[in-house]
Amino acid sequence: MSQATLEHTGKRQILVNAAAEVFARQGFAKTRVSDISQHAGVGKGTVYEYFSSKEELFFAVFEWIKNEIRSRVEAVVNDHTPARDVLTTVFRTTAEIITEHREIFSMNLEFWAASRGSAFEDRFSAGCQSMYHEYRELTAEIVRRGQREGEFRPDLDADRISVVIVSALDGLGVQCWFDETVDAVGAAGAFAEALCGGLCVEER
């Protein structure tokens, strides 16, 4: 990668980080591009060298968070520990990410509402569908792995279980946004323990 490419990537990420912080603090609707440029310590024109609009900046933040979630969860999934331990760690890792980016979840809800009926609605919907699909595949594969290794019950539908798992974790993010007293990591750990208790083959 050339020095120019590295500099381009670095400046772009600085703007994405700044946008995430400003969006989280002020909300998407109230944020101006000039607010982001000021927070990043650059001129407004610099922002437009990388992004054509505030909406494009939002999608860049969305992709950044999605990639972070995927990379951190995939690192856990690729571990060779028993499936039950992997699933529990995935829950805790996801809860940690939710806690770290608590304000970002509100931004997603706000942008979804703001994009209704606009040219960005389909793009945002597609992005969310892709994120949920990837996460469902990751969790379903953990369940199937546990079934192959004789740890989880073979009669269970891994794909359907993954839908409920993702729904639960997504709902946890919403609760954390509304109620800062929610202990996301503790709740995820308790849920994982209860779920794995039902998934595991009974010892005879």
Q: Are residues 167 and 111 in the same domain?
A: yes
Contact at 8 Å (CB) between 196 and 90? no
Q: In this structure, are 78 and 163 located in the same domain? A: yes
Helix (H, G, I), strand (E, B) or coil at 152: strand
Residue 155: inside a domain, yes or no? yes
CATH number of the domain at 46, please: 1.10.10.60
> Within 13 Å and on the Cβ side, how many CA atoms surround 195?
26
The single residue listed with the structure tokens 């909300």 is 27
> Residue 92 burial (CB < 10 Å; 0-12/13-18/19+)?
middle
Q: What CA–CA distance (Å, rounded) separates 200 from 196? A: 6
Q: Is residue 204 part of a domain?
A: no
CB 33 within 8 A of CB 56: no
Structural domains counted in the chain = 2
99 is a domain residue:
yes
Q: What is the DSSP letter of 40?
A: H
**What is the full per-residue pLDDT of the chain (204 aa) written as tens digits?**
233 433 555 889 999 999 988 988 888 888 999 999 999 999 999 999 999 998 899 889 888 888 888 888 888 887 778 999 999 999 999 899 888 877 776 677 777 777 777 777 888 888 888 889 999 999 999 999 999 999 999 999 999 999 999 999 988 988 888 888 999 999 999 999 999 988 888 654
Cut 0.85: pTM above it: no
**φ/ψ (deg, to 5) at 65:** -65, -40
Q: What is the dihedral of CA 7, 12, 15, 17, to 10 degrees?
A: -100
Residues 6+ apart with CB under 8 A from 184: 95, 96, 98, 99, 172, 173, 176
Q: Which domain holds residue 26?
A: 1-52
Check which CATH number belongs to the domain holding 110 and give it: 1.10.357.10
CA 27, CA 24: separation in Å to the nearest integer? Answer: 6
Contact present, 108 and 174 (Cβ < 8 Å): no
